A and B are shown apart, each in its own frame.
Chain A
């Protein structure tokens, strides 16, 4: 009798232990600190509430940029990385060279109910290296042209569809900026001119608009790309020289110049959309909108990157099948529920979400989402991507050139020498 009670007690306590183990904890690292970080937190809370007793996300937010990538790469190398992390598609090539990411297999994709067709072609391509998939895109985040609708309307630059008109082509755009300035705007356009690494996003878009490209190791600027890159840099330098674009302006000042009405246009990332929406809702902002970059050269093209979910390849401590399944469930759920993520400005990568009527109603997101068909991602190299040697070289070469300290040709030559020297 005594033995049976003991046995029963042992069995029941063993069952309790296994019940406790049934709740998988998914360690999550991200670099989302701003307005999108707040939105991601509420997504995570919602996920945890819906998966109570099954899966819990334990999230940690780390510093964006070089600190984040240094930490995830080194911790994966010693087996101390998380189960899942946010990752810029543009930084995947470096991680692949270090073997710090786990491949996403066809079975994994099937388990999540996703396929390559679930994503825009350029976005899907960005998470693949040499035919293997290393992350699941969560969003596409391009740069866009923000505009002050009140000021544009007063200058007759808003068309019948309620969107800006007559901005395509360098001459038209310059004329529009001149009109706006004649009508009282202090500047024509605000964009970051104190940070050539940031401005690289615009310059790279302008390069792509001329069908120019940045290659990769060994051949960074193929064909006539140096000349086209020079044209791109020259365009911004001309704007600065003409007083259209304020010189040596840093990021916070750029946003301030737009939101205070000093500059009716701003080129910036879609991640500033929540700033504008919030200010507008508080009654502190004019009528505004955001559109795909105008076609300055030959064709529409805009720089984009993608926040994706990646699973680190933790050396010596691979995920158990249960952990792996729980991680996939997190990615699947996030992909399905990324409509809310669109309020952070980012374009959900999952096409099924952007096709919903709810997304189509969302403004200005639905207006600029069309640009995913024309987006260009960073070249696939260990030296490219956010916080990379390429951005660093752009900072050195373009900051001086945009502000007229050196000419565009020397800036391109300097950049080429720097990249070829790596």
Chain B
């Protein structure tokens, strides 16, 4: 009994620092965010209580709807395609051996360690309408050089491609670890039974790698719902009302338009949105996995 009590005390002591810091750095600001969202506060200082009018204002703002639509569009463009590309690359890399595998893997992983500002500078220069080398590909197809970041239909797909290029390394690593955990004898047994490569993939690899796929999709979903940096950097000075995403909307309201309360309300909407989407997706994918 005394032993049990000291165990509980020890557990509390070990867990307490986390609880305190988590409460202070995450829970408390979240509560504050909810409180701020029902006031007319500017960026600095308190505001008066105005009920839900920030929320009604949000729903009436066409730019906010654009931001939601663009965010969803971006998620569609990146989450599943990005994960599929990562799986494909991981399958190919896993067939290599020794130093060659390490080197190829390093090449695919390299972009992941770049800061977003570097990614922006590289791609902005590659696609520069006067001097970019990618215009050598674009011009023959389109007949003239195109400023990718100022042509609305090109903007989101462009950012999506760069994002996949940039963040794929991490998913590839996860998949590779998953592939290495599949016992070799399963494949040996299958080939003795005369299974084709495609059958081996659909009957062995795919089911066994499914938990990793779920993990990758969930990480990607949460990450891409919070998309901001790339869209902000490539859109700077352009038609930001049309290329707006949700986090950017929050940023613009708070830091450019000096509307803290409204920004907090938008943040609450994003918070709920991310929470619901994540739970839904996770449940959906888990059901599929247990079937």
Q: What 0/1 readout, one digit per residue, does chain A (95-109) give for beta carbons within 8 Å of chain B?
A: 001101000000000
B17 adjacent to chain A (CB < 8 Å): no
Whether the Cβ atoms of B237 and A196 lie closer than 8 Å is: yes
Chain B residues, Cβ within 8 Å of A192: 237
Report the bound CA distance from A155 to B227 in whole Å.
51
Q: What 0/1 readout, one digit per residue, does chain B (143-178) give for beta carbons within 8 Å of chain A?
A: 000010110000000000000000000000000000
Whether the Cβ atoms of A257 and B130 lie closer than 8 Å is: yes
B69 adjacent to chain A (CB < 8 Å): no
Residue of A nearest to B61 (CB): A421
Interface hits, B250-265 → A, CB 8 Å: 252, 255-258
Q: A248-B129, A399-B150 are in contact. Are A98 and B44 (CB under 8 A)?
A: yes
Interface hits, A59-113 → B, CB 8 Å: 66, 70, 73-74, 77, 94, 97-98, 100
What's the nearest-Cβ distance from chain B to residue A300, in Å?
A: 27
A interface residues (Cβ-Cβ under 8 A, vs B): 66, 70, 73-74, 77, 94, 97-98, 100, 192, 194-198, 246-250, 252-253, 256-257, 382-383, 387-389, 392, 395-396, 399-400, 403, 418, 422
Residue of B nearest to A414 (CB): B241
Q: A194-B238, A248-B150 are in contact. Are A100 and B44 (CB under 8 A)?
A: yes
Q: A73-B43, A73-B44, A256-B131 are in contact. Are A196 and B238 (CB under 8 A)?
A: yes
Chain B residues, Cβ within 8 Å of A400: 239
Whether the Cβ atoms of A253 and B45 lie closer than 8 Å is: no
Interface of B, secondary structure class, is loop
Whether the Cβ atoms of B42 and A392 lie closer than 8 Å is: no
A-B contact pairs, 24 of them (CB 8 A): A70-B43, A70-B255, A73-B43, A77-B44, A97-B42, A98-B43, A192-B237, A194-B147, A194-B149, A195-B238, A248-B150, A249-B129, A253-B131, A256-B131, A387-B256, A392-B252, A392-B256, A395-B240, A396-B240, A399-B150, A399-B237, A399-B238, A399-B239, A400-B239
Report the bound CA distance from A113 to B66 in whole Å.
54
Interface hits, B33-80 → A, CB 8 Å: 42-45
Interface hits, B86-140 → A, CB 8 Å: 124-125, 128-131
Which among A70, A249, A418 is the interface contact of B130 at CB below 8 angstroms?
Answer: A249
Whether the Cβ atoms of B241 and A396 lie closer than 8 Å is: yes
Which among A97, A196, A197, A253 is the interface contact of B129 at CB below 8 angstroms?
Answer: A253
Chain B residues, Cβ within 8 Å of A94: 258
Residue of B nearest to A395 (CB): B237
B202 adjacent to chain A (CB < 8 Å): no
Whether the Cβ atoms of A194 and B237 lie closer than 8 Å is: yes
Residue of B nearest to A382 (CB): B258
Whether the Cβ atoms of B255 and A66 lie closer than 8 Å is: yes
Chain A residues, Cβ within 8 Å of B150: 194, 248, 399, 403
Which among A74, A198, A253, A389 is the interface contact of B128 at CB below 8 angstroms?
Answer: A253
Report the bound CA distance from A389 to B43 in whole Å.
14
Chain B residues, Cβ within 8 Å of A382: 258
Report the bound CA distance from A286 to B150 in whole Å.
32
Chain A residues, Cβ within 8 Å of B149: 194
- Given A97-B42, A194-B238, 10 more contacts at CB 8 Å? A77-B44, A77-B45, A197-B237, A249-B129, A252-B125, A252-B128, A395-B236, A395-B238, A395-B239, A399-B239
Chain B residues, Cβ within 8 Å of A197: 237
Whether the Cβ atoms of A98 and B45 lie closer than 8 Å is: yes
Report the bound CA distance from A77 to B44 in whole Å.
7
Q: What 0/1 readout, one digit per residue, does chain B (228-242) give for beta carbons within 8 Å of chain A?
A: 000000001111111
Chain A residues, Cβ within 8 Å of B42: 97-98
Among A73, A197, A388, A396, max chain B CB count under 10 A is at A396
Report the bound CA distance from A392 to B252 in whole Å.
9
Q: A66-B255, A74-B44, A100-B44 are in contact. Are A195 and B128 (CB under 8 A)?
A: no
Report the bound CA distance from A382 to B240 in whole Å.
20
Q: A70-B43, A73-B43, A399-B150 are in contact. Are A256 and B239 (CB under 8 A)?
A: no
